[in-house]
Structures are given as C-alpha cells and as structure tokens.
Amino acid sequence: MSCKTISAKEISASYREELKTMIKTRGIKPKLVGFLANEDPASIKYAECTSKTCEETGVIFELRKCNREELKDQIIEANEDDSVHGIMVYYPVFGDLQDQYLQNVVSVTKDVEGLCQICNSYQNIPYLDEEQIKNYIIPCTPLAIIKVMEYIRVYNSVLLYGNRLHGCVITIINRSEIVGRPLAVLLANEGGKVYSVDINNIQEIHHGTELKLKTYEVRITNLKLEEILPISDVVITGVPTPSYKVPTALLREGVIAINFSAFKNFEDNIKEKASIYVPTIGKITITMLERNLLKLYDRQLSLKNEE
C-alpha cells in the first residue's frame, strides 16, 4: 500500500495565508513575547521556528532570554505591558510542579498557549462568558493535532459535533498535562474511543456505548500496547526520547500515524503499514499559537473600547 506523507507546512499553509491577509488588511501589529529560560535544544529550535513563522505572517515576535529564577517577575511585567498581546514560555523550565505554577502566572488575557485554562478541556467548557461569545483558548499543541486530523478527514463532517469521531479508535502515547491528557479528552468528547498510554499504564477514555455517557469516563485497563495498536485507526505519539520507537509490526494496515515528539517515534519502515504519516507538527502548533494571539488581540481591543 502506498503511504502519503503529509508535512506540517502543507497542513498549516491555508491558516498561515489567512493570518497574513488578516494582519495586512487590518494594518495591525500583534506582538508575541516568548520566554526562554532553559538550554534545551528542542526549546531553542522551537523558538527559532516561532520567530520564522511569525515573520512570515506579520506577527512581531520578541524572544526574551532570562534565568529561570527571574522568569516569574518577567512574566508579571509582560502581563502588565499593554504593548504585549501574547505571552508564551518554552517548557520545561524547572521540570516539576513549579512549571504548572508558572503556567498560571501568565495572564488569561495573554496566554496564547491556553495552558492556564487547561482544566476547561477536561470539563468540556467551550465558552468563557455567559453570553457565549468568547470561546476559550484551546491548548495549541492539542489544537494543532486536531487540525491535522481534520485536514486528513478523520473527523466525519457529516456527523453532529460531539459525534464526529464515533467509531474511531485512537491511541495517544503521551499523557503530559500540556499535550496528551487534554488531547485525549478533546478527542473522547468528539466521540472517539481513546487509549491514553504513558510510562505507567494504559487508560481508556470514552463516552460509552452509543456515546450515551454525558461526561467522558476514564478507566485504567490491563491492556498492553501489543493489544491496542493492532485495533487503533490512529496512533499519535509524543515520547521525548530518541530511542523510543512504536513497533511497525504491531500497527494496523492503513493506520494514520502522527508524531509530535521532537524525536522520530515511528520506525523507518512506518510507510509500509501507514496510509497517512505526519512526521512533525511544529509549524502547525506555531500557527495555532498565532491564531490564539489574534483572538486575544481582539479581546484586549474590545476591553479597551469598553473603558
């Protein structure tokens, strides 16, 4: 079977064009500040890509390097600076619970990554206000993966919202609080049956038979990777180690394989089994970050107009 490899550049192209036109037509100068407080090569590369993509679309990007001890105060300063419309931080900073604290230091009005409202993904809360005008900022990496799945038509647009992944079995190998866990819930809330894999166990997240459960259910299973991979229509992986590889032999014929790790988590022969292979998603994530920035820019503008 021939496999189609789809690049992040291809998937993000129409969104980037839309952003570029909108920024140019409106003559606006939205400004994003990125804080880099680590020496992690993946973060440095991500910051370089952010700068390049922002330049292409007309977003002003400023990278601020600092010590991790100074970061909290620097974020607060940017929160209060009216010329800054969006803030992002390159994680890990401390690599522990302090990082979750920092996520919440970023003002909700400037959080382009959607990390300080992450619990909304779990509660299926689409709006921030009672009038249902301001929809909340979906965390940008899970959102980028959703855009990949929409692009390759995994979502069935004939079905109602909330059901568009009915019948689809998805394995996600990563359960971090910023990507894997919110993504699993977002996909289950669209009707998918999700196997969420981390280093310790495999959880099943779903809305029950015929999607009858009002809220998603999480069940720890005794299943092994060898049992879930052969029945998965989509396998999404984000293990942050170069040695980790998903065994191609265990995958279903025609599987959709999506890698968001900085390392190649699929074996070199993945194209022998997959129907569609998406090797990286970085450019889509940055594009989603920019879309979030424009939403926040407009909200800040309407707040100013109300004053």
What letter represents residue 112's amino acid?
Answer: V
Other beta carbons within 10 angstroms of residue 284's beta carbon come to 30
Least distance (Å) between residue 237 CB and ligand NAD: 9
Other beta carbons within 10 angstroms of residue 13's beta carbon come to 14
Q: What residue ranges in 19-143 does DSSP mark as E strands?
A: 31-36, 60-65, 86-89
**Is 8 or 211 the residue whose CB approaches ligand NAD more closely?**
8
**Is 96 or 307 the residue whose CB approaches ligand NAD more closely?**
96
Give the Å distances, CA to CA, from 130 to 51, 86, 135, 162, 303: 36, 24, 10, 21, 16
Least distance (Å) between residue 291 CB and ligand NAD: 14
**Is 146 or 179 the residue whose CB approaches ligand NAD more closely?**
179
**Is 133 or 231 the residue whose CB approaches ligand NAD more closely?**
231
What is the spatial distance between Cα 206 and Cα 209, in angstroms, rounded to a whole number? 9
140 classed as catalytic: yes
31-36, strands of its sheet edge to edge: 60-65, 31-36, 86-89
Q: Give me the catalytic one of 3, 49, 119, 140.
A: 140
Q: What is the rounded end-to-end Cα distance, in angstroms, of the chain?
A: 61
Kindly report the backbone phi and psi dihedral angles of residue 127, in degrees, each rounded to the nearest multiple of 5, phi listed first: -120, 150
Contacts with ligand NAD, residue ranges (CB under 6 A) = 42, 141, 144, 173-176, 178-180, 197-199, 238-240, 244, 260-262, 281-282, 285
Least distance (Å) between residue 277 CB and ligand NAD: 15
Least distance (Å) between residue 306 CB and ligand NAD: 34
Would you please indicate which residues are annotated as catalytic (active-site) residues?
140
